[in-house]
Structure 1
Amino acid sequence: MHSAFRQLEEKHLSAEVVKMLWSPRMDLIALANIHGEVLLHRLSWQRVWVLPVTTNETSKKVTALAWRPDGKALAVGYGSGQLLICDVENAEVLHTSSLNTAISCMQWTDVSEKLLGESVRLDFEDSASTYLPRFPAPSKSYSALSKIYKEDNAEDAKKLDGQERLNILVVGCDGSNVHLLAFGICPIVVIDLSKITDTQVSRVVGASLSRDLKSLHMVVEQAAEMPASTGSENKYDVNFITYGTPVLADRHQEIALFALKYGTITTLTEYLNNTLKAMSEAYEDILLEMESKLAKYAETKFTPGTVSDDFLQLLMWGKCSQELQSFLLHELSEKGLKKMGLSVESSYTNIQKLVIKHVHSIGKALLYHLSEVKGMSLWFEKYAVIGLSTTQIEGAMTAVGSFILKANELLQVIEISLQNFKAFFRWIYVIILRLSEETIPPEISKMTQKDVTFVAEFLKENLQNDKESIKKGSGFSLERVGQYLKREDLSFPQEVLENPWQQFVDSCPNLRDSKLLFRHHANKSLYQLFDALEQEVKSVLSKPATVIGEGLKKEESSYLLYQTVCHQDDKKIFTPAITQQTMEESGTLYTILTTEKSPTDKVYMIRKSTQSDSVASVLEVCFGMLGESSANDSTVSYRCMQHKVLDVQFYDEATLSVLLHEDSSDGDNFSVLAHLPVSSFTEKSYQPLAGCKPQLLGAKVLQTNDLGPSVSQYRRLQNMKASYFAVSGNRRVSCVMFSSGRRVRVFDMDAEDEGGGDVDDNDDDDEDDKDSKDSENMDS
């Protein structure tokens, strides 16, 4: 049907686009350009947001895109190995994973209720909201928290609420690793293909998990042996590998519940990390100025004794040397002292609030959720396959407890420092007013014995000028709070020997070695204990991926599909067009791919049932004349007897979309957008894939099937040199990219063009040629 598909938009793009993908639920399309930016557009081509390049790498490239099945999150894979999960509403990065090697392909699979039954729905109630208070709303004064956590989404920062069934993101990488992440964030399987292949795997070209979670189908490149004379070429064997994943199908409920716990615990640790950043943000180095002034005073004073001696004499006898008097009046000054006192009090109070409101509540929530994961590990019949280690979980809980103890210690240090600082600053302020012969307010003129004690304690702790403080650099140590916010041992740890509880624990071996008591690390800072906590939690949460991955089994030997040769001076490595889809009616996963650079004469369809004893089969397809030929039907494409394939994708489960290149007899070149039903691939045309080995796909052993007559709908895209496209059966739309990569046409696939086709416009053709030349110049 020549006039099928109605054109909606034709738009120019500011930069060359390398990836496109439609949302499965909304009229949104994600675009990735050569600069590493990801753009989200509506069907009307209104821009929703732009995700900028996340690092300073100018060559950072987006290599894969994948939508979460509910359309509320977008996965973005980079050549650096970084994987981002972004919120569709505002481009907020919900989760970041580092996979170490470049990401080559991604596909996000949801569990089929039709294939696995109603048991796929998650039927559980998280009791955390009953026993735990809500996350405290982050204050706008702390940018580390307020920029990341909004008032209503702190608990659901990963956007996992409302997930009714398990969905899994399959990520293939350059090298030998394939990662499966539940809900896109929780690693549940890591497969190292190098352990089961004889040669080194260089790249995973395509990977898809069947919707019944029973099998994983992969297309991988492996280095082939080359003769010594061809040193400038690299030869690769492209193989089709199938993994049986029945453990995912059998334990999908348990994996889903663990993944949700993973999301909650990861959110809590990230919240703690950002809270520590907010504490560092609230901390001010104002006291370093006073330390430097005291150090300068100590170096220039001529009278015998230390700085502490001078202040003690002033405290006990009210005598002040000329040097100290000059220091108080000119170096510290009344104005400087007031400013310093307010800054210290404000800084300490803000840190105190963050510890009480955020660190305590998040730490307790972490202990609660880790306890639930520990309960999972003890339920051996259901969760043994996940590989949770009770001992590791207990270690993580101990690390959280030690972190909370250190946070309580910081509160004590802040409380003591505040009362000592207030007493010292008030006393010095009175002295400066007296030396300046100014009126002293009656409310601060008198000092109680307690105030004298606080001042004496301050002088003893901070102005001793001992060896430790000299090593520090200034010779003094006024700051005892800031040391807790550094990744180094405490310079001045708190004395705990006189603590009655600590003495009792040390005297009782059973308590000293008990796992029920959290260990106190006297010399460690708060940041050091957080790093230990984070490492312990990562060890607990990452183990299931290794255990489940090792439990998967390879069903059969890899099938050699084709061979490709890459010259070392080639800038781009050939990547086949590949699309994969699970057919729910038959429980079969189809893989369609090309074996040559586009435009190519043939494509190959590989099918394999998800049953473990099934045999993979292959079908070779070409496209001759489009549409059925009859005397009364004028829809047949007489202009071209053979079409070449530019790109191929599944439109939906029942329909395949192909982007074709047409060389007409009159010399005009056209691109064709076409539909054909999957049912047109007849059963008898398939041949066992194993029978093609050692021959390659495309050898004479395979019979070519012309599916041109089976094309149900098509449209010539006049004045357009197309390169690739993105289609969505759910949204009934298609977006076709020009060969320049800087211009697109959008089509409504569920409506016919009222105008009966494209309008011939020479200006469009000239513009496309210009874009193509610009693109070629950019590539060069």
Structure 2
Amino acid sequence: MYHCGMRQVGERHVPFQVDLMVWSNRLDLLALSNFKGEVQVHRLHWQKVWNLPPPKENISVQAMAWRPDGKALAIGYSTGTVYVVDIEDKEVIDQYELEQEKINCDDFDSLKSNGITCITWAVRSEILESATEYNLYDDASIFLQKIPQNGTYKNHISNDCAKDFKEVKEPTQLNMLLIGYATGYIYITIFGRYPYGTLNLSHMINDVGEHKILDINISDDFSIMQVLYLDKLTNNILLSFINTSVLSAYAEEFFTVAKKHGQITQLMSNLDQTMTSITEAWEHILLEMDAKMAYYAAAVPDGGVSADLLELHMLDYWY
């Protein structure tokens, strides 16, 4: 008798029923989702990295996919919302909610028949020429300085404002986040950040029926997309090949535009946080001046503050 040699090497227990489980192809991490809509990330030795509660009650996780570099996780909820979560601190980097896919969380029938059905994070195998060319203007640090992390007002700036925007490593390969919906739509973003467009499967296959996307795959050069879907009228499962040669032919352009979009987003975040830090520092200065003025007023006789301010005003007038 032939034995394949497979054996169980471990067993772990979790407190809740597991609905989905996805391994990272780059790191020793395992993402789990349970019936409560929570997402947990564990290491191989079962150390819990973090636990992410659902955005709202009574919703579940429908699909998950790791970013090719293993540094982010895309989570699709039954409401049609997608979170792209940073692995280090479970911060929501991006959030997508298509207008035509918004679903009422209280409508359980709608949650069952709609929402996200699959997520695929595909990477183009070829390294693009524009990814290896050096461009001086790609270095944002020569235009804007980082938010100061130390100084007089460090303790008075909130953690959200003091935190610098995330340094995202420049990708060398084009990758796309493909999100399939039970209504037959496929939402595409480049790098999981730059929206590319939405495909209607009915238009692609010239069939006006109702379809549910079950799975999406794309070739290594992004020229052919394979879509597995359910025809809701006949209840048949079909596989369709869609010509996406435009994604392959204009890969360089997509890569460049999406990378610039990410840089602009980072710079805007830097500016917003800098302005917030300046505002909070100025508010602290005003509070400190008010406290010192109150202390001074308590130390001088009645009417002394008014006399001193009048004298200062006169000196300012003459000089």
Shorter-chain TM-score tier? 0.7 to 0.9
> 1:346-745 counterparts in 2 under 5 A?
436=302, 446-449=311-314
Q: Residue 133 of structure 2 aligns with which residue?
A: 124
Q: Residue 109 of structure 1 aligns with which residue?
A: 122
Distance 1:281 1:202, change over 3 A: farther
Greater strand share, 1 or 2? 2
Q: Secondary structure at the match of 2:173?
A: coil
Amino acid aligned to 1:16: Q
Q: 1:243-271 deviations in whole A, cap 9, x for unaligned?
A: 21112111212211111111122233344
> Do the aligned residues in 2 keep the contact of 1:111 with 1:120 (CA within 8 Å)?
no
> Do the aligned residues in 2 keep the contact of 1:111 with 1:211 (CA within 8 Å)?
yes
Q: 1:410-432 deviations in whole A, cap 9, x for unaligned?
A: xxxxxxxxxxxx9xx89xx69x9
Q: Secondary structure at the match of 2:252?
A: helix
Partner Cα separation in structure 2 for residue 175 and residue 281 of structure 1: 46
Q: Secondary structure at the match of 1:257?
A: helix
Amino acid aligned to 1:96: Q
Partner Cα separation in structure 2 for residue 450 and residue 97 of structure 1: 60
Distance 1:440 1:448, change over 3 A: closer
TM-score computed with the length of structure 2 as normaliser:
0.77
Amino acid aligned to 1:26: L
Amino acid aligned to 1:125: Y
> Do the aligned residues in 1 keep the contact of 2:146 with 2:270 (CA within 8 Å)?
no
1:238 aligns with 2:205: no
1:136 aligns with 2:1: no
Q: Secondary structure at the match of 2:76?
A: strand
Distance 1:342 1:265, change over 3 A: closer
Distance 1:267 1:236, change over 3 A: farther
Structure 1, unaligned runs of 5 or more = 225-234, 285-339, 347-421, 454-780
TM-score computed with the length of structure 1 as normaliser:
0.34
Amino acid aligned to 1:110: V
Q: 1:477-524 deviations in whole A, cap 9, x for unaligned?
A: xxxxxxxxxxxxxxxxxxxxxxxxxxxxxxxxxxxxxxxxxxxxxxxx
Alpha-carbon distance, 1:77 to partner: 1.3
1:343 aligns with 2:284: no
Distance 1:80 1:271, change over 3 A: farther
- The alignment-based identity, stated in percent, is 28
Q: 1:189 aligns with which of 190, 197, 204?
A: 197
Q: 1:180 aligns with which of 185, 188, 192?
A: 188
Distance 1:76 1:280, change over 3 A: farther
> Do the aligned residues in 1 keep the contact of 2:80 with 2:97 (CA within 8 Å)?
yes
Partner Cα separation in structure 2 for residue 51 and residue 277 of structure 1: 27
> Do the aligned residues in 2 keep the contact of 1:120 with 1:165 (CA within 8 Å)?
no
Q: Residue 702 of structure 1 aligns with which residue?
A: none
> Do the aligned residues in 2 keep the contact of 1:142 with 1:282 (CA within 8 Å)?
no
Amino acid aligned to 2:158: Y
Q: Which has the larger radius of gyration?
A: 1
Distance 1:94 1:440, change over 3 A: closer
Q: Residue 12 of structure 2 aligns with which residue?
A: 11
Higher relative contact order (CA 8 A, sep 6+): 1
Q: Secondary structure at the match of 1:9?
A: coil
Q: 1:141-187 deviations in whole A, cap 9, x for unaligned?
A: 223323xx34xxx262xx3x142211111111121321221111112
> 1:82-97 counterparts in 2 under 5 A?
82-97=81-96
Alpha-carbon distance, 1:119 to partner: 4.2
Q: Residue 109 of structure 2 aligns with which residue?
A: none
Q: Residue 393 of structure 1 aligns with which residue?
A: none
Distance 1:270 1:204, change over 3 A: farther
Partner Cα separation in structure 1 for residue 209 and residue 269 of structure 2: 37
Partner Cα separation in structure 1 for residue 159 and residue 89 of structure 2: 18
Amino acid aligned to 1:135: K
Greater helix share, 1 or 2? 1
> Do the aligned residues in 2 keep the contact of 1:28 with 1:43 (CA within 8 Å)?
yes
Q: Residue 219 of structure 2 aligns with which residue?
A: 210
Q: Secondary structure at the match of 1:14?
A: coil
Alpha-carbon distance, 1:211 to partner: 1.1
> Do the aligned residues in 2 keep the contact of 1:23 with 1:29 (CA within 8 Å)?
yes
Partner Cα separation in structure 1 for residue 129 and residue 176 of structure 2: 13
Q: Secondary structure at the match of 1:137?
A: coil
Distance 1:18 1:281, change over 3 A: farther
Alpha-carbon distance, 1:275 to partner: 5.5
Distance 1:278 1:244, change over 3 A: same
Q: 1:280-314 deviations in whole A, cap 9, x for unaligned?
A: 76787xxxxxxxxxxxxxxxxxxxxxxxxxxxxxx
Amino acid aligned to 1:143: N
Amino acid aligned to 1:40: V
Q: Secondary structure at the match of 1:40?
A: strand
Q: Residue 70 of structure 1 aligns with which residue?
A: 69
Partner Cα separation in structure 1 for residue 315 and residue 235 of structure 2: 82
Q: 1:432-485 deviations in whole A, cap 9, x for unaligned?
A: 966x37x669965724337679xxxxxxxxxxxxxxxxxxxxxxxxxxxxxxxx
Distance 1:41 1:187, change over 3 A: same
> Do the aligned residues in 2 keep the contact of 1:144 with 1:275 (CA within 8 Å)?
no
Amino acid aligned to 2:176: I
Q: 1:221 aligns with which of 202, 226, 230?
A: 230
Alpha-carbon distance, 1:240 to partner: 2.4
Q: Residue 163 of structure 1 aligns with which residue?
A: 171
> Do the aligned residues in 2 keep the contact of 1:30 with 1:38 (CA within 8 Å)?
yes
Q: Residue 35 of structure 1 aligns with which residue?
A: 36
Distance 1:119 1:451, change over 3 A: closer
Amino acid aligned to 2:193: I
Q: Secondary structure at the match of 1:262?
A: helix
Equivalent residues, number: 294
Alpha-carbon distance, 1:193 to partner: 2.7
> Do the aligned residues in 2 keep the contact of 1:120 with 1:166 (CA within 8 Å)?
no
> Do the aligned residues in 2 keep the contact of 1:201 with 1:220 (CA within 8 Å)?
no
